[in-house]
Amino acid sequence: MTQPRTFRIAAIPADGVGAEVVAAGRTVLDALAEDSHGAFSFDWEEFPWGCDYYAKTGKMIDDDGLDRLKDFDAIYFGAVGWPNVPDHISLWGLRLKICQSFDQWANIRPVHFLPGVQSPLRKADDTELDWVVVRENSEGEYAGLGGRNLSGRGPGGEVAVQSALFTEVGCERIMRFAFDLARTRARRKVSSVTKSNAQQYGMVLWDDVFKRVAQDYPDVETESVLVDAMSAKFVLKPEDLSVVVASNLNADILSDLGSALAGSLGLAASANLNPERRFPSMFEPVHGSAPDIAGQGLANPIGAVGSAALMLDHFGLPEQAARLHKAIRATTAAGILTRDVGGTATTEDVTKALIAHLAD
């Protein structure tokens, strides 16, 4: 008989709708655990970090915050960013600080088309669409290298340098991750997103590593596509996609496009993985804090619940993850939809429907 397991999870709702969707995700996960009759449970600890905390303390996270997080089994994150704090301070002070310090170098962002949710793509009406964006999550355009100088020249005289960093180690590990993922999917294909025609150093290294790694996966189809052409392909030929591997910034932009094509950013889930498991991985909806709807009970919890499913997969509970995915599909198919996907349901309505459908 397998031992019951308790997963220790650090919840960081952070800003805006983050609080509402993390609460919804926790409620659904606790319902799942209750239904497991003791096979597994979740032990939650919630941390108050975010922009409000910054306004009070001058810090996005406590000085010993990473130390307090490092022994959790996972981090369940909401969204970061609020108009009272400059975006680069809040993003670097919390989300990127966690991702980079815990070497969460693989960011997985599946694009699922759900029943009952209308896509702006006409093609989605009669074509099965489903792909995963694999985002390099530790370097590239987000390496944080650069600086501002020459402000002494006076107004209009300052300069800024922001360098992208591409290492062979960083490129190779994310590409191998993408190829391994492709081998688990019906269509074994990896599309690499590049811009090597214009970025002749970093992106040419990216392309060279892609060609070298591909040789170890002769059973996986490949293509290398410029980021501008890939944006068009997302809209015009998405049925040709399975795993899309891209640098930090390119993948961030393309995954938002993918989520919008699937109907809403509110549906999109993500996992920031430290595949070696030296540090906890972090699971969060792709969307931000949405100040326009925050605190009104209108946020779509599906992105956060889909992220919880990715967390269950990471814990080695694929059947439980599948139950969440099934409940999500049953809920949208029944027309229980928040405003962002054309419905009138509240966060609470969708959460209740998800829990009800766990029994299906």
List contacts with ligand GGG (CB under 6 A).
79-81, 91, 95, 252, 284-286, 288
Q: Which residues contact 334 (CB under 8 A, 6 or more apart)?
A: 116, 353, 357
Q: How far is the CB of 100 from ligand GGG (least distance, A)?
A: 11
Tokens of 116: 């009952």
Identify which of 146, 153, 111, 103 has the alpha carbon closest to the alpha carbon of residue 128: 111
Q: How far is the CB of 145 from ligand GGG (least distance, A)?
A: 16
Between the two ends of the chain, the Cα-to-Cα distance in Å is: 26
Q: Which residues contact 123 (CB under 8 A, 6 or more apart)?
A: 129, 238, 239
Identify which of 46, 27, 32 has the alpha carbon closest to the alpha carbon of residue 304: 27
- Bridge pairing between strands 269-273 and 281-285: antiparallel
Of the CA atoms within 13 Å of residue 303, those in its CB half-sphere come to 34
Nearer Cβ to ligand GGG (73/136): 136
Render 51-67 in DSSP notation, one character per residue: HHHHHHHS-SS-TTHHH
In 3-state terms, what secondary structure has residue 20? Answer: helix
Q: How far is the CB of 70 from ligand GGG (least distance, A)?
A: 21
Nearer Cβ to ligand GGG (14/341): 14
Residue 158: Cβ within 10 Å count? 12
Nearer Cβ to ligand GGG (136/284): 284
What is the distance between the alpha carbons of residues 341 and 339, in angstroms, rounded to a whole number? Answer: 5
What is the distance between the alpha carbons of residues 138 and 263, in angstroms, rounded to a whole number? Answer: 28
Identify which of 3, 21, 1, 2 has the alpha carbon closest to the alpha carbon of residue 13: 21
Residue 287 DSSP code: S
Contact 235, 121 (CB under 8 A): yes
Phi-psi region of 103 (alpha: psi -120 to 50; beta: other; left: phi over 0): left
Nearer Cβ to ligand GGG (170/285): 285
Render 170-193 in DSSP notation, one character per residue: HHHHHHHHHHHHHTTSSS-EEEEE
Nearer Cβ to ligand GGG (272/331): 272
Q: How far is the CB of 219 from ligand GGG (least distance, A)?
A: 33
Q: Which residue's beta carbon is nearest to the bound ligand GGG?
A: 79
Q: How far is the CB of 15 from ligand GGG (least distance, A)?
A: 8
Q: How far is the CB of 14 from ligand GGG (least distance, A)?
A: 7
Nearer Cβ to ligand GGG (81/110): 81
Nearer Cβ to ligand GGG (220/244): 244
Nearer Cβ to ligand GGG (18/124): 18
Cα Rg of the chain, angstroms: 20
Nearer Cβ to ligand GGG (240/256): 256
Residue type, 103: D
Q: How far is the CB of 288 from ligand GGG (least distance, A)?
A: 4
Nearer Cβ to ligand GGG (96/121): 96
Q: How far is the CB of 173 from ligand GGG (least distance, A)?
A: 19
